[in-house]
Amino acid sequence: MDIEKLMGNPTTVQVSKTISENKKTRTLVFELPETKQSFKPGQFLMCWVPGIDEIPMSISLWNPPEVSVTVLPVGEATSVFSALSPGQRFGVRGPFGSGFSIECKRALIIGGGIGMAPLRPLVYQLLENGIDATALVAAKIKNELLYVDELERLVGDGFDVQLVTDDGSAGFKGVATDAVREIFQKASYDTIYTCGPEPMMAKLHVFAKKMGIVIQASLERFMKCGCGICGTCALDPTGDLVCMEGPVFSGDKLDAIEEFGKYHRDSTGVKIQF
């Protein structure tokens, strides 16, 4: 393990552009200088917000030197981070984690809320590989949906987008899992890729098992090092580290992770039920 490479000083980057994706969520675009790192959709960066904290963020665009993360403010670090303006600086380490593996013929991509962030580069990768896909973009309300205009511009030639909102303000009215059941009545897929609220992903896991199809789900856990050193992100009872073996886990692994869909841990290790 090259500790210096993993845990050494973050690379300082400068915000080049910000995009308001919806009422709360912002994408920060920046240039990552001289990166020779390879990238798999689903991987993340540890982002150092000066004077506040270092937090994991999925890579929402990888087109080196241009890279982006999409930030939903939920606490101190994400609030300060998402408010950065062009010209302001922050630090990055990574990319870290396993990423999605792309071995499918027809994919259903299901993103709940900010969970669409790691799925955006996956959409582009699937299209580049000539794989048919439907992206199901879900949120509580219309103005929490992510990347809708961008994804709708890609529709055609084997790619489709469907919207789902709890209140019916856009697309299917209800929860993503109900929309998925309806979609499967008209079409078939061999793989589900998902990221979003864990109870949603746990239900999709049960559904995928029933249908006999593959599922890959991206999990979030509290992280300190992001690269396999501190053990903070270990899962019960397998001990898998979300930052190393994950954040993307496939169905057989999800079966073995007893806490999946049930609880996660805060910064002190205390269990928090979903």
Ligand X SMILES: Cc1cc2nc3c(=O)[nH]c(=O)nc-3n(C[C@H](O)[C@H](O)[C@H](O)COP(=O)(O)OP(=O)(O)OC[C@H]3O[C@@H](n4cnc5c(N)ncnc54)[C@H](O)[C@@H]3O)c2cc1C
When asked if residue 45 is in the footprint of ligand FES (CB under 6 A), the reply is no
Strands (E), 166-258: 172-173, 191-195, 214-218, 248-250
- Percentage helix, strand, coil for the chain under 3-state DSSP, each rounded to 5: 25, 35, 40
Size of the site for ligand FES (CB under 6 A): 12
**CA 253/CA 204 separation, integer angstroms:** 14
Question: Closest CB to ligand FES among 7 and 19?
Answer: 7
Q: Is residue 127 helix, strand or coil?
A: helix
Task: Indicate the residue type of 201.
Answer: M
When asked if residue 120 is in the footprint of ligand X (CB under 6 A), the reply is no
Question: Closest CB to ligand FES among 118 and 226?
Answer: 226
When asked if residue 232 is in the footprint of ligand FES (CB under 6 A), the reply is yes
- Region near ligand X per CB under 6 A, out of 52-60, 153-161, 178-186, 250-258: 52-60
Question: Which two tokens mark 218?
Answer: 């991206």
Q: Which residue, among 71, 46, 47, has the nearest Cα to 60 in the 3D structure?
A: 71
CB 233 within 8 A of CB 150: no
Name the minimum Å distance from CB 63 to ligand X: 17
- Region near ligand FES per CB under 6 A, out of 75-83, 114-122, 191-199, 222-230: 222-230
Query: Which residues are at the interface with ligand FES (CB under 6 A)?
Result: 223-226, 228-233, 241, 243
Query: Which residues are at the interface with ligand X (CB under 6 A)?
Result: 44, 53, 55-58, 69-72, 74-78, 114, 117, 220-223, 247, 264, 266
